[in-house]
Amino acid sequence: MKQHETITLHDMMQGLRTNDFEWCHIVASDKQRLNQSEALKRARLVEDFMKWVIGDLVISLIKNTFYVTETASTRYETVYYLHDEWQNATKPYFVGLQNKLLTELDRNRAFFARQGELGVSAVRFIPKPTGFRPIVNLGRKIRRPDLPGISTTGHNKVAMTANQILKCVHQVLTFEKDRQKAHLGASLFGTNEIFAPLQSLKAELIHKHGRIPRLYFVKMDIKAAFDTIKQDRMIDIISGMLEKNYDYCLMLYCLLLPPASKASQGSARRLFKSRATVDNHLATSFTDHASDIAQPLRNAVVVDLVRRKQVTRHECLTLLKTHIQNNVWQVDKKLYQQKTGIPQGSKISSLLCSFFYAHMENEYLTFTRREGSRLLRYIDDFLYITDDRATAHRFIDTMSRGFPRYGAEISIDKTLLSFESQIKDMMAAVVKTSSDGQTLFPYCGFLINTKTLDIMSDYPRMMTGPIKQSFALRSTRHRGSSFVGWFSRQLENRNHIAYLDTMHNSSKTVYLNIFLNFALTSMKLPHYFGTKEMTPKREELISRALSDSVEYTYNAGLARVRHAARKAGQVRPEGHYEVKRAEFTFLAKRATISVLRRKASRFKGVVDRLERELRDKRYGELQERLGEVCEKGWEAVKNARF
Q: What domain count does the chain have?
A: 3
Given the DSSP bridges, would you call strands 328-331 and 301-311 parallel, antiparallel or unpaired?
Answer: unpaired
Identify the pLDDT of residue 55.
87
Look at residue 263 and tell me if it is in a domain. Answer: no
Same domain, yes or no: 504 and 622: yes
In a domain, 382, yes or no: yes
Q: Which long-range contacts (C-beta less than 8 Å, at least 24 apart) are formed by 161-164?
A: 162/118, 162/119, 162/121, 162/138, 162/323, 162/346, 163/138, 163/139, 163/346, 163/347
Kindly report the average pLDDT of the chain as a whole number.
87
Which stretches of the chain score pLDDT less than 50?
Answer: 150-152, 154-156, 261, 263-264
Give the pTM: 0.88
The residue ranges of DSSP E strands in 428-478, in sequence order, are 429-430, 440-443, 446-449, 455-457
Nearest to 51 by CA among 12, 86, 18: 12
Q: Tell me the angle at which helices 507-522 and 483-492 cross, rounded to the nearest 10 degrees.
A: 140
Rounded alpha-carbon distances, angstroms, from residue 114 to 167, 325, 365, 542: 20, 15, 42, 52
Q: Does 66 fall in a domain? A: yes
Q: Is residue 90 one of the residues assigned to a domain?
A: no
Q: Give every CB contact of residue 93 below 8 A, 6+ residues apart in sequence.
A: 125, 131, 132
Q: Are residues 461 and 535 in the same domain?
A: yes
> Do 459 and 500 lie in a common domain?
yes
Phi and psi, residue 250, nearest 5°: -100, 125
Whether 609 and 486 share a structural domain: yes
Of 226, 221, 227, the closest CA to residue 414 belongs to 221
Residues 496 and 608 in one domain: yes
Rounded to whole angstroms, the Cα distance separating 642 from 635 reads 15
Pair (523, 626) in one structural domain? yes
d(CA 237, CA 229): 12
Pick from 429, 562, 416, 566: which is nearest to 500 by CA? 562
Task: Pick the closest to residue 499 from 517, 487, 521 (CA basis).
Answer: 517
Last residue within a domain, chosen from 70, 99, 121: 70
d(C-alpha 434, C-alpha 1), whole Å: 37
Asked if the structure places residue 319 within a domain, the reply is no
If asked whether residues 620 and 478 sit together in one domain, one would say: yes
530 and 459 in a single domain? The answer is yes
Q: What is the pLDDT of residue 523?
A: 93
If asked whether residues 425 and 463 sit together in one domain, one would say no
Task: Of 99, 368, 45, give the one whose Cα is nearest residue 216.
Answer: 368
Cα gap 19→34, rounded to integer Å = 12
Helices (H), 379-428: 389-400
Strand order in the sheet with 455-457: 440-443, 446-449, 455-457
SS3 assignment, position 399: helix
H/E stretch holding 622: helix 622-625
Domain boundary among 70, 93, 121: 70
Same domain flag for 583 and 534: yes
Helix (H) or strand (E) holding 88: helix 83-101
Measuring CA to CA, how many Å separate 411 from each of 408, 430, 486, 493?
A: 10, 15, 38, 29
Residue 493 sits in a domain whose CATH number is: 1.10.357.90
Residues 415 and 489 in one domain: no
CATH number at residue 228: 3.30.70.2630
CA torsion 222→226→227→231, rounded to 10°? 110
Task: Give domain status of residue 339, yes or no.
Answer: no
In the listed set 70, 89, 107, which residue is the last one of a domain according to the structure? 70
- Rounded to 10°, the helix 600-614/581-596 angle is 160
- If asked whether residues 387 and 481 sit together in one domain, one would say no
Tens of pLDDT, residue by residue over 106-150, are 988 888 888 888 888 888 888 888 788 888 888 788 876 655 554
15: left (phi over 0), alpha (psi -120 to 50) or beta: left
261 falls within a domain:
no
Q: Is 549 part of any domain?
A: yes
Domain range for 598:
454-636
